[in-house]
Amino acid sequence: MDQGDPRRLIPRTNDLLALPAVREARKRLNERVIRELVRHVQEQARRGELAPDQVEPALLSAVAARTATTLRPVLNATGVIVHTNLGRAPLSAGAVEALIAASGYVDVELDLADGSRSRRGAGARAALLAACPAAEDALIVNNGAAALVLATTALAAGREVVVSRGELVEIGAGFRLPDLIESTGATLHEVGMTNRTHLRDYASALGPDTGCVLKVHPSNFWVDGFTSAVPLHELSPLTAANGIPLVADLGSGLLAPDPHLPNEPDAATALGSGADVVIASGDKLLGGPQAGLLLGRKEIIARLARHPLARAVRADKLALAALEATVAGEAPPVIEALHADPGQLRRRTDRLAQALGVPVVPHDGRVGGGGAPGFALPGWALQLPEALARLLRTGNPAVLPRVHDGSCLIDLRCVSEADDERILAAVRRAVEAFEAADAGGAG
């Protein structure tokens, strides 16, 4: 490196580490992460991507932007309530409070009165049983898929799971229920046809090798036309007469019927129709943390709880705390968004549209997350130019709009009213950045 080489002017590591804002950042970030940020800006300067006098400001903004987690909160302006790519259900304030309370040491498996060990997650279990009295007992595991694996392993490993061909679904991202079930060592015994399955199909499949009969709610599609399926209340007398457990995978997690979603199955109705165990997710329509719920007959839940696999899929204390608070507390954001008053949505959307001078268009929200497929939730959206979508996603706060038909649509259904001003400010910033880039391009 000769004397004239600008790389000689790149600030040295120790000088950068000694900057007050960098020292201050040690309260949030550890030494290794801070040194990585320093090395990164120095390398950018060595490659000529940063002038030497830009190294310090670049480091300061990198340090300011770096949080301990790289997960960034997103305002969901898509109108899709249970958005898989956004972590499904946002938690209620009560569930967040419970999470924080449970984040330290907590009596998750301890009876404080006598100091003895207690049943793990007893509070969450009691809350579920109170909300769904049709269930004799409940077991909470890591997620819905884990609940299904546990049930099929404990009831049918080395034997057969009898299931309708019309219910062998892919639940997302190439993830197929048949693969999951066969990974447990159970064999699938498919009955009926894709569009039609009859009670006699089930009856002729049952035999000494049957471990359980599984009914799966095809939660992310629906078949139309010449179709028939056997409802639980017709199937349960057959399984009961043969002493075979009937497992119903509902997917979505409604504990009781919701009049807003007339075709969505719920745990109380499924148990009342004779299912021995129902399986549901905690973070779909239930609106809680990721969890898998198993609700049903006492002796079957006990059999599942005793299986060694139950330990491998148990729910963590944070999920147990948030689940109990969700089930026992105020309506979670998922339910607020589902039941959002159309008049109120219209007023909020109009107010932002007027402030921004943009049109309002009709826009249907969706349940999402593989729930209530094709079910439209009528509402409205702000209509913006498509080019704003990227600026909104990468802004602060990040806003995820829906891009459709050449427009960028902002639907307020899943945005808390308290965040309307943040949406307004985010759109204004995106418009400014868009116009600045446009002017730059033109000039």
Category of 158 on φ-ψ map: left (φ > 0), alpha (ψ -120 to 50) or beta: left
Does the footprint of ligand PLP cover residue 423 (CB under 6 A)? no
DSSP conformational letter for 193? -
Scanning 33-41, 137-145, 354-362, 435-443 for contacts with ligand PLP by CB under 6 A, the matching segment is: 137-145
Half-sphere exposure of 93 (CA within 13 A, CB side): 3
Does the footprint of ligand PLP cover residue 370 (CB under 6 A)? yes
Give the list of residues 6+ apart from residue 10 with CB closer than 8 angstroms, or none: 42, 45, 46, 52, 55
Does the footprint of ligand PLP cover residue 287 (CB under 6 A)? no
Does the footprint of ligand PLP cover residue 164 (CB under 6 A)? no
Please select the residue that binds ligand PLP; options are 42, 76, 78, 143, rule is CB under 6 A. 143
Does the footprint of ligand PLP cover residue 166 (CB under 6 A)? no
Please select the residue that binds ligand PLP; options are 82, 108, 171, 295, rule is CB under 6 A. 171
Does the footprint of ligand PLP cover residue 167 (CB under 6 A)? no
Does the footprint of ligand PLP cover residue 76 (CB under 6 A)? no
* Shortest distance in whole angstroms from residue 279 CB to ligand PLP: 7
Does the footprint of ligand PLP cover residue 289 (CB under 6 A)? no
Tokens 């569009």, located at residue: 195
In degrees and rounded to multiples of 5, residue 138 shows phi and psi of -145, 150
CA distance linking residue 289 with residue 324, whole number of Å: 10
* Shortest distance in whole angstroms from residue 325 CB to ligand PLP: 19
Which strands sit side by side in the sheet containing 187-191, from one edge to the other? 137-141, 292-296, 277-281, 246-251, 210-216, 160-164, 187-191
CA-wise closest residue to 52 among 14, 18, 6: 6
Q: Which is nearer to ligand PLP, 223 or 387 (CB)?
A: 223
User: Which is it for the CA torsion 286, 292, 297, 301, positive or negative?
Assistant: negative
Q: Which is nearer to ligand PLP, 76 or 143 (CB)?
A: 143
Residue nearest to ligand PLP (CB): 144
Does the footprint of ligand PLP cover residue 153 (CB under 6 A)? no
Q: Which is nearer to ligand PLP, 166 or 251 (CB)?
A: 251
Length of the chain: 443
3-state secondary structure 198-243: CHHHHHHHCCCCEEEEEEECCCCCCCCCCCECCCHHHHHHHHHHCC
CA distance linking residue 63 with residue 205, whole number of Å: 63
Q: Which is nearer to ligand PLP, 216 or 315 (CB)?
A: 216
* Shortest distance in whole angstroms from residue 253 CB to ligand PLP: 8
Does the footprint of ligand PLP cover residue 145 (CB under 6 A)? yes
* Shortest distance in whole angstroms from residue 127 CB to ligand PLP: 18
Does the footprint of ligand PLP cover residue 314 (CB under 6 A)? no
* Shortest distance in whole angstroms from residue 126 CB to ligand PLP: 22
Total site size for ligand PLP, rule CB under 6 A: 13
Does the footprint of ligand PLP cover residue 281 (CB under 6 A)? yes
Tokens 């020292």, located at residue: 23
Judged by the rule CB under 6 A, the positions of this chain that interact with ligand PLP are 143-145, 148, 171, 216-217, 219, 249, 251, 281, 292, 370
